[in-house]
Structure 1
């Protein structure tokens, strides 16, 4: 019977993570499909460089608003209902963008899709983290990021296969996962930690007993939640000195995840490669290779976060991203677009994608969902998502302009420098969270041993 209960709880947790992570699939598809659609939209709507960046960036602006408004909504309505609201917005935005006949409709629809993406990016990782056991939390939360890159990969394949068809069908296919997310969330339980925070103790106990190996483990975890719980904290509490290390680590990763250039590659790789002399079909195939690389890297990262650890994964992979970008920048500068040179360029951009996605992109939502105290987890994750989308907005609105000003080679050299700075940041400020309960991480914040440097100082002092 205990073995059966353990398997049943594990299966339910997996099912919850898969359905919730469908929000990540929509996240990836709706952000990635613009890469291929932009080639057709530019011709049909006579887009300039500026207007192309506005159409691309509208979804990011919406995401920035969505992630900020999702925090108070999720604390009031619950994590599950907030994800359902996001699913409805996904459906509305997809219908409007599919039938858009003017630039303003494209922008408005992608703004609505952005609201949904921002809400999903803020709340789905929290929902999964709060319902997962500590020993599997990394893998299950990374399922969200895996869904994101699968969505991006599907969008790249779709863009290539429909390159002679219409951009409307490219966007319209997004209605399928949006419907799955909305219907699936109806049958999932609320987060037990949110229920405990709102006084629904017996409801929280019931959920934990369904997703843990034994009733004893569920009851012990619930008691830890109750013991560590404070009243819901206002946003200003994130400024308290004892919480600051969590803010620095999580927001730093969120900013660097974008400023290191990964979404510049996702959004504009076909445009950059087509502009550099590659054919349109070849440029779109490059995006397919990037999508496959992202999927492989995220699957690997999902394994590594619970085996190597979050911090060690980033420290091991980021140097590879730096080297790949240096090679890519050099190949653009010497103009190697034919023969072996072209293959080196593709290998370099695929290598960068794997090293960057497998480290920062895997860690961003996981670390953000782990490091904050329960009383401010919603607002803290909102800050993480806002930082991510704010940086993404900057990247989406400036990448083509950067390429025009610095050239593709100079742009990739700039991203190489930022990736090197990201490596130093992780070494200094990001702690290891593998295998530690959310309550234990909160305790390390309170006793001042959260950041790696502070932890090392405490160990030296103890000796």
Structure 2
């Protein structure tokens, strides 16, 4: 689509107005973001729970890595499967199913049987625990793809970034909640209660119940309804989250795109990707963006932050308490990111974020090298630098990445496209989760963060040369640009 056509498409839509429909959109985003909250809690709860869990169940380092990474590898599969399921079955129904999976996975984890004596390994208990983590992983992966797409398809393009980005804020809020609850439960109960880690895991059953009952009252994505040619249903949904005039105009715009695809008999899903070099290219770029996010090492900190702090010289209790700082700055960064999401280009945000995170990696590595173990300021300096890394990541990268992935793919392959991209992201995350404890033990903090810095430099080059801009255009305008390759000639949105 040319710039003139793009401007015309934008100007044909009536402006946004305040009213009950705005509040309805806000409510929908809050309910859907319980999926993000569960994502965050289930990935963050292990950071603090893994120590007591390993002690009670007699797990060695590799077995701990299996327990942690089983969720992540399952999330890769869940992202791929649930994206396709949501394309066929609907975003809303898929999210309801995910709520059930979150609940069932939690039950398996908290009722994993221990060995005959505390600290003795139980093969049955280990199997049930891993099965529960796999169930949670499938749900986490599904939530990471379906919830952002659901929000992006409901939001008007003018505020799509801030609406979709709320899910990432919910994720880091869930991680913060996990860190805080772990600290409270660990400090209050400590070693006085057997199975304290089970209590930490059990808490995430509550938002699963809230997500299930909340989504029963939420609407389906109007764009998915149009894709299924349910135009009247789509208009009815849009009228609850837009003014009547805006709803009619948006449905008309979506219908035009859907009718053109039908008239040209265009393939959909995987066939469309393989038949169009531009769609194949955007899939490859999506994979790169998703992997770049994980290769910063952010989730290694969110899963094993206490282990990193202990390696820096803190005691176990100090590390658990200090770990809360990661969650706090992640939420603060998420709030700042939401404020800037509809004001700054996605590409610019990526480049600033990668520059900052790579700088933090280098500083942590040099601090670990120059400050010997036993130096009293070593843990304080490393804590400050890792906090700065998490803040940079959340302010400039995490929210923007999920928003970009939710809006870049055309409607007919959106669930599949984000599913494939996030599959590779979660796979990368899983490899790091599995081997990070051994990596820290082998090369120390210095070696780990030098590796992250090298990857960050390559990621900067990739974003600068390959990633297209998406801010400020409707999903329908983006669909045309992506499908024809025009998006690579449009470096910035009109009016940016």
TM-score bracket, shorter-length normalisation:
over 0.9
Equivalent-residue separation in structure 1 for 2:459 and 2:336 (angstroms): 20
Provide, for residues 122-146 of structure 1, a one-character-per-residue CA deviation record: whole Å limited to 9, x for no partner: 1111100000000111001110000
Change (3 A) 1:76 1:400: same
**Equivalent residue, structure 1, for 2:255:** 226
| Conservation of the 8 A alpha-carbon contact between 1:293 and 1:354 | yes
Equivalent-residue separation in structure 1 for 2:396 and 2:372 (angstroms): 30
| Conservation of the 8 A alpha-carbon contact between 1:304 and 1:313 | no
Q: TM-score, normalised by structure 1?
A: 0.94
Equivalent-residue separation in structure 2 for 1:3 and 1:424 (angstroms): 38
Equivalent-residue separation in structure 1 for 2:391 and 2:363 (angstroms): 15
| Conservation of the 8 A alpha-carbon contact between 1:134 and 1:435 | yes
Equivalent-residue separation in structure 2 for 1:63 and 1:365 (angstroms): 15
Alignment counterpart, residue 273 of structure 2, candidates 225, 238, 241: 238
Change (3 A) 1:447 1:115: closer
1:173 correspondence with 2:196: no
**Equivalent residue, structure 2, for 1:460:** none
For the aligned residue pairs, the C-alpha RMSD in angstroms reads 2.0
**Equivalent residue, structure 2, for 1:365:** 402
Alignment counterpart, residue 331 of structure 1, candidates 367, 378, 386: 367
1:283 correspondence with 2:319: yes
**Equivalent residue, structure 1, for 2:339:** 303
Q: Write out aligned runs for 1:165-204 (5 A).
A: 166-204=196-234
| Conservation of the 8 A alpha-carbon contact between 1:298 and 1:357 | yes
| Conservation of the 8 A alpha-carbon contact between 1:60 and 1:392 | yes
Equivalent-residue separation in structure 2 for 1:128 and 1:20 (angstroms): 8
| Conservation of the 8 A alpha-carbon contact between 2:73 and 2:430 | yes
**Equivalent residue, structure 1, for 2:22:** 10
Deviation, structure 1 residue 317: 2.6
**Equivalent residue, structure 1, for 2:92:** 80
Q: Write out aligned runs for 1:52-451 (5 A).
A: 52-101=64-113, 102-163=125-186, 164=190, 166-212=196-242, 214-229=243-258, 230=261, 233-239=268-274, 240-333=276-369, 334-335=371-372, 338-451=375-488
Which has the larger displacement, 183-192 or 154-163?
Answer: 154-163
Provide, for residues 325-358 of structure 1, a one-character-per-residue CA deviation record: whole Å limited to 9, x for no partner: 1111112223265433332211100011111222
Which has the larger displacement, 390-399 or 327-336?
Answer: 327-336
Q: Structure 1: 5+ residue runs without aligned partners?
A: 458-463
Provide, for residues 68-89 of structure 1, a one-character-per-residue CA deviation record: whole Å limited to 9, x for no partner: 2212321222100000000000
Provide, for residues 397-431 of structure 1, a one-character-per-residue CA deviation record: whole Å limited to 9, x for no partner: 12122223322211011111112222222211222
| Conservation of the 8 A alpha-carbon contact between 1:321 and 1:352 | yes
SS of 2:112's equivalent in the other structure is coil
Q: TM-score, normalised by structure 2?
A: 0.88
Q: Structure 2: 5+ residue runs without aligned partners?
A: 1-13, 114-124
| Conservation of the 8 A alpha-carbon contact between 1:245 and 1:445 | no
Provide, for residues 203-223 of structure 1, a one-character-per-residue CA deviation record: whole Å limited to 9, x for no partner: 0011111111x2222111111
Equivalent-residue separation in structure 2 for 1:401 and 1:419 (angstroms): 21
Change (3 A) 1:136 1:3: closer
Equivalent-residue separation in structure 2 for 1:245 and 1:455 (angstroms): 16
Which has the larger displacement, 423-432 or 220-229?
Answer: 423-432
Q: How many equivalent pairs are there? A: 454
**Equivalent residue, structure 1, for 2:122:** none
Provide, for residues 87-133 of structure 1, a one-character-per-residue CA deviation record: whole Å limited to 9, x for no partner: 00001011111111111111111111111111111111110000000
Equivalent-residue separation in structure 2 for 1:292 and 1:434 (angstroms): 28
